[in-house]
Amino acid sequence: MRLSLYKNPRPSCKNERLLVFFGGFACGEFFVEFLKPFLPRNADLLAVFADGLGFCEGDIIKIAGQYAAYDVLGWSFGVGVLSRMGKVMKGAERRIAISGSTRPIDLKFGIPPAIFQKTVSSFCDEVRETFYERICGKEDLSMLRKYLSSEGGTALRGQLEDFFDFFKASDPVSATWCAAIVCGRDKIFPLRNLLNEWGNCAFELPACRHFDTSAFSLAFSFLNRCPEKTRISFERSVDTYESSATVQREAAVRLAELVAQKVPSNCSRILEIGCGTGFLSRQLQEAFRESEWIFNDLSAGMCLRAAKSRGDGKSKPLAGDATRIPLPTSCDAILSASCFQWIDDMPCFLKRLAPSLKGGGILAFSTFGEDNFLQIRDICGKGLKYENVDKLSKYLYSSGFGDCEFVSWKRDLEFDSPIDILRHMKLTGVNGKFSEFWTPPRIRRFSEMYAKKYSRAGKFILTYNPICVISSKI
């Protein structure tokens, strides 16, 4: 077996948690690079790849012993290998499986033996590429191929034979798994067999394939013990967001109108970043009924809810930070409503999005301009950095986008008191980056300053400055 330890850099302290990942068949030398962006910020990664299946449980335990706690995650045949390491399994705090079985070669719970043997006997260089397309899907193969093995067919056939001997010679240990993610479009493990294997532990993603970024994003979100303030803020406000975020809804409606005019209704793939509770996708439900939607959000719950709400079996969640995790390719459109204002480095992020779009593909988003929440920034002296139209235009053109259109407006909301404004911000989740510990003296000073500077006819004003942007990849 091959071990690879990656220490997640943190500026001020040592990581106390370890994630032990067991890879499946044909994991390439760059597979760790695929995993890094999903890794919780407070954890290091120990990747175990079964190149030769020499037993190394003692080495794993020794490394894991240097941490306060560790979790284990297996993918594909890695689930079967992991399930046979009793000491590793026993010491783990959480155990998660992706697209795999503790009985990987089994008529009822894994790959039927006859099919496995047929695959082994015919495996060669040409079959390898066909096999990779089966596990990734044709649309995502170009993005994921670099993480898979470049070894020749003969070497990989030997690896399959080693797996067969290993699983035949040993049985899985008894252990409780937290979750098992199974993929509805898995062409390696039959879906019915994985559902037999995992029972109530199974978490089905109908649109995902055997090696799928969405499945990994969800698995890692289950392990994330160090969430950002932004994600916490929005998850706490999810039940109140729909009724309170009136301006965000207005911006989503106007953005949807622009998208419907520019994006062909027969487009094949749409990525939505920061899908939230689904303001934008609901507006476009009928116009793009046949499209595959990939819903991204920091909150796994919101991604899952958005994908499930379409009810088409083609939509996928993609949980995690869009500035870090791998993004899908071959998109006809990338959409986002009231999210991009949270991006710290907009020019870098736009350059990151460009490769995910086809030539001529549409990037459409709503954000907020420099007059947004001007009262809060004036009184509190902090808040998000909002960009004006001129800067957004410059960023877009320098990132490979053209034909840019902008629609900008202002909306003043009226409240009965400054405290109601703070409550409104909390209910819509937009206080994530300028939350305060509101002691009675601080609330009193805030209210006095607000009344002095931003009251009108007995009401207290909060300004929104939405901007809708639509552009195309040059």
Kindly state the DSSP code that residue 161 receives in the 8-state scheme: H
Mean pLDDT of 411-431: 87
Nearest Cα neighbor of 14 from 37, 45, 47, 42 is: 42
Cα gap 201→203, rounded to integer Å: 7
Q: Model confidence at 429, in pLDDT bands (50, 70, 90)? A: low
**Locate tokens 């055997």: which residue?**
210
Which residues on adjacent β-strands are paired with residue 205?
A: 183
Mean pLDDT of 139-164: 94
Residue 12 pLDDT greater than 80, yes or no: no
Q: Which residues contact 259 (CB under 8 A, 6 or more apart)?
A: 284, 287, 333, 335, 362, 364, 470
Cα gap 53→2, rounded to integer Å: 8
Protein fold of 2-223? Rossmann fold (3.40.50)
Percent of the chain with pLDDT over 90: 77
Tokens of 186: 């898995």
Provide φ and ψ at 303, rounded to 5°.
Answer: -60, -45
Residue 200 pLDDT greater than 80, yes or no: yes
E strand map for 106-234: 179-183, 202-205
Q: Which residues contact 293 (CB under 8 A, 6 or more apart)?
A: 270, 271, 272, 281, 306, 307, 310, 314, 315, 316
Say if domain 229-473 classifies as CATH 3.90.180.10.
no
User: Where along the chain do its domains lie?
Assistant: 2-223, 229-473
Cα gap 428→248, rounded to integer Å: 9
Model pLDDT, residue 302: 85
Report pLDDT digits (tens) over 238-283: 555 666 778 999 999 999 999 999 999 999 999 999 998 788 999 9
Mean pLDDT of 404-422: 96
Fold equal for 2-223 and 229-473 = yes
Cα gap 323→340, rounded to integer Å: 11
Model pLDDT, residue 438: 81
- Is the torsion defined by CA of 88, 92, 98, 99 positive or negative? positive
Percent of the chain with pLDDT over 70: 92
Report helix, strand or coil for 20.
strand
Residue 184 pLDDT greater than 70, yes or no: yes
Which residues on adjacent β-strands are paired with residue 407?
A: 468
Asked if 218 and 96 touch (Cβ cutoff 8 Å), the reply is: no
Strand ranges across the sheet with 292-297: 316-319, 292-297, 269-273, 331-337, 357-368, 466-473, 401-408
Distances, alpha carbon 414 to alpha carbons 31, 134, 387, 422, 432, in Å: 52, 56, 24, 12, 22
- Is the torsion defined by CA of 281, 284, 285, 288 positive or negative? negative
Residue 226 pLDDT greater than 50, yes or no: no
Tokens of 419: 């405290």
Q: 84-119: string of b/e by CB count within 10 Å (b at 16+)?
A: bbeebbebbebbbbbbbbbbbbbeebbbeeeebeee
Model pLDDT, residue 13: 64
Tokens of 139: 């649309």
E strand map for 247-400: 269-273, 292-297, 316-319, 331-337, 357-368
Helix (H) or strand (E) holding 466: strand 466-473
Measured torsion, CA atoms of residues 280, 343, 212, 255, in degrees rounded to the nearest 10: 20
Kindly state the DSSP code that residue 287 receives in the 8-state scheme: T
Q: Model confidence at 228, in pLDDT bands (50, 70, 90)? A: very low
Report pLDDT digits (tens) over 320-332: 999 999 999 999 9
Helix (H) or strand (E) holding 468: strand 466-473
Report helix, strand or coil for 246.
helix
Asked if 84 and 53 touch (Cβ cutoff 8 Å), the reply is: no
